Structure 1
């Protein structure tokens, strides 16, 4: 594997807080779901709400298992590199989709919130037991810092939270802490061009394909260096 340059990782505290806040809010939204709600379609076909929740649940708990493995010697990619288009090959996508189906069939409406709570708490317990500079290896084989991988978990929970809110006909519940982490990743920490007039929620929706770009927006975006992520639609 070709080693890629990796910049300074973000501080752990804001990323940890964003992950915690977004997971707490998602779990709260799940507590009144019915079985009929779980069978609703989402804008991540072929997944239903049940399948998408299962995918998010798996993603929330993934870091705890990674931290149980030996640490690679050094990081190779950052959070943006993790979402590179080359990673999402047809076999990887097929495995991801089937995983959502498989886990989703095991959980009922009352189980999702409790299981999500256990998963995110276990992840943060594992994070807190490690030095901030700890390096982990992802399922794609990349080595990245624990903080950078936790940033990808904020993206997963936050952006798929938008998908779930849309499927459930609810207002988006993206928390301010998570919105900041995701927006900074998408823009590389640079300000959004004033001509776009986007707040953080609109930025995230537009740059992850949750809302279409107008012709004027496309022209403005083409002139700036946004970090477009390969994120499952």
Structure 2
């Protein structure tokens, strides 16, 4: 059974979609720390996303950052038919009322250039570009915090778009850290804010096409573990090949 929305001290219902730009900013800060863990030897490693190695996961993250940047810069993102990824899920912005997809195609290794040629330093230049794109999102959304964004022709508030983006950015950042063999917990207050957002935006109708089935957690599990398990991830996932 879906939990009731949280309430404020005044007793009024708090809308979990209102984390907005500030929440996305914290998610990006967390992601930047996780991206700094990536080394050349990590790119072929498995990730908590079934059938994706880290290279494919980072390409998917680039798609997500690109869509969020376009939404902030232009106030709209075109609706494009879903394209399956290694987890059989499109890169989707999902609400309880509508599901809209913003993507530039499936993950493609070597196609992460963000507005310019890749430096000769190798594949990690792509990771540096991804970190630059994440940083630029903070500035883009700071100027668009009150905007109404058209996603596939559906008007959404900036807070809603940023909220979904925060869930996507944070959980995939956790995936990156785990793939690299690091325990980098999602900050507890942020995980607590993201959990009701995930429950709002990822419904039973989205499974198993867009999200894996949720996993069971212990009653005393942390907000992070409940968030990850709700989105089909094992909170204790480990790369056993290490």
Gaps of 5+ in 2: 1-13, 78-92, 201-217, 236-242
Per the TM alignment, residue 10 of structure 1 is displaced from its structure 2 partner at its CA by 4.0
1:225 corresponds in structure 2 to: none
2:134 aligned to 96, 120, 124, which one?
120
Per the TM alignment, residue 70 of structure 1 is displaced from its structure 2 partner at its CA by 5.2
Query: What TM-score does the superposition give when structure 1 sets the normalisation length?
Result: 0.63
Question: Is 1:155 matched up with 2:155?
Answer: no
Query: What TM-score does the superposition give when structure 2 sets the normalisation length?
Result: 0.61
- Alignment check: 8 A CA contact 1:40 1:167 kept: yes
2:233 corresponds in structure 1 to: 210
- Alignment check: 8 A CA contact 1:56 1:157 kept: yes
For these two proteins, the number of residue pairs brought into alignment is: 184
Cα-Cα RMSD: 3.6
For 1:178 and 1:26, the matched residues in 2 are separated by: 13
For 2:145 and 2:47, the matched residues in 1 are separated by: 38
**What per-residue deviation string (whole Å, max 9, x for no partner) do you get for residues 4-43 of structure 1?**
xxx96744xx433332233223223333422220111223
- Alignment check: 8 A CA contact 1:43 1:163 kept: yes
**What per-residue deviation string (whole Å, max 9, x for no partner) do you get for residues 111-160 of structure 1?**
41x3233223322222222352x21122x543311111111111111111
Per the TM alignment, residue 82 of structure 1 is displaced from its structure 2 partner at its CA by 6.8
Question: Is 1:103 matched up with 2:111?
Answer: yes
**Relative to total residues, which structure has the larger helix share, 1 or 2?**
1
1:171 corresponds in structure 2 to: 183
2:26 corresponds in structure 1 to: 21
1:51 corresponds in structure 2 to: 56
For 1:42 and 1:198, the matched residues in 2 are separated by: 22
1:60 aligned to 44, 59, 65, which one?
65
For 1:154 and 1:130, the matched residues in 2 are separated by: 15
1:81 aligned to 91, 95, 98, which one?
95
For 1:34 and 1:167, the matched residues in 2 are separated by: 11
For 2:197 and 2:177, the matched residues in 1 are separated by: 22
- Alignment check: 8 A CA contact 2:28 2:135 kept: no
**Relative to total residues, which structure has the larger strand share, 1 or 2?**
2
